[in-house]
Amino acid sequence: MSDLIYISFIGEKTVGKSSIVDSYDSKHYNPDLYATKRVETHIMKNSFTGELNVYVYDMAGETHEATIIALCAKCDVIVLVYDKTYKKSFRKIDDFHNIIIQHIYPEKSVVVLLGNKTDDTLGEQVNTDEGYNKHQYLKTDLFIETSAKTGYNINELFQKIEEEVKKKRERIIEVFQKEETDYLIEPQIHNYICPCSCRCICPSCRCCECTLL
Ligand SMILES: Nc1nc2c(ncn2[C@@H]2O[C@H](COP(=O)(O)OP(=O)(O)O)[C@@H](O)[C@H]2O)c(=O)[nH]1
Ligand SMILES: [Mg+2]
């Protein structure tokens, strides 16, 4: 099992995707970031357990749908970002969600809804309840509000992502192990022994093509 977490940040331009990653990575806010011109990648050491590396794709606001699809297939985590001070970016979340939901595995992928710029309370156009309702409506795994500017909830974001990824990975292993166990005990449940000399204990495989079956 890979110890890398692949994360994509998706959202309208200027919602703060690069600033969130930068704020976590460098531990300070840089108001002079250049606009992302293409898909950017950052490799960061997770600062909580130190066990997991976080690999972030920061997408430009106008990233082509095909690029989003290709990256979604690869990612463990998709963070859908909107700007709390810009209603249009919140509405756009539905479009992005529509694209990604068709191209991810819900059992494997963690989808996060993130409202950024909590520090700008005067400019707020999307309140916490609206964000939370959208999270419930879209059934995203996590909902969080952050400020890349003040650092509010930035560490918590990555911590929660890591916890959620671990949970999903453990669940996949559990299901896989259960399926293996079920397969092994199934013949005993049926209490089946092939009447010919092949000693097959599976009633459905027809491995011996026994004419007595
Ligand atoms: N007030 C405030 N401004 C922010 C915050 N995060 C980003 N910005 C500003 O929003 C603008 C766009 O940020 P950027 O990270 O480039 O957005 P991106 O296009 O989504 O990557 C920049 O001027 C940032 O300084 C935040 O949490 N609060
Ligand atoms: Mg950017």
Q: Which domains does the chain have, with CATH numbers?
A: 3-176 (3.40.50.300)
Nearest to 148 by CA among 110, 111, 115: 115
Ligand nearest to the CA of 115: 1
Top mutation candidate among 12, 14, 62, 82 for ligand 1, by most atoms within 8 Å of CB:
14
Ligand nearest to the CA of 34: 1
Query: Whose CA is closest to atom 12 on ligand 1?
Result: 14
Which tens digit of pLDDT belongs to each residue from 119-143?
999 999 999 999 999 999 999 999 9
Average pLDDT, the chain: 81
For ligand 2, an ion, list residues with CB under 5 A: 17-18, 36
Query: Whose CA is closest to atom 9 on ligand 1?
Result: 16
pLDDT over 50 at 189, yes or no: no
What's the pLDDT score for residue 197? 58
pTM of the model: 0.81
Q: Which residues line ligand 1 (CB under 6 A)?
A: 11, 13-19, 31, 33, 35-36, 61, 116-117, 119-120, 147-149
d(C-alpha 9, C-alpha 20), whole Å: 9
Cα 69 to ligand 1 centre (Å): 24
Atom number in ligand 1 closest to CA 34 = 16
What's the pLDDT score for residue 4? 81
Query: Whose CA is closest to atom 14 on ligand 1?
Result: 16
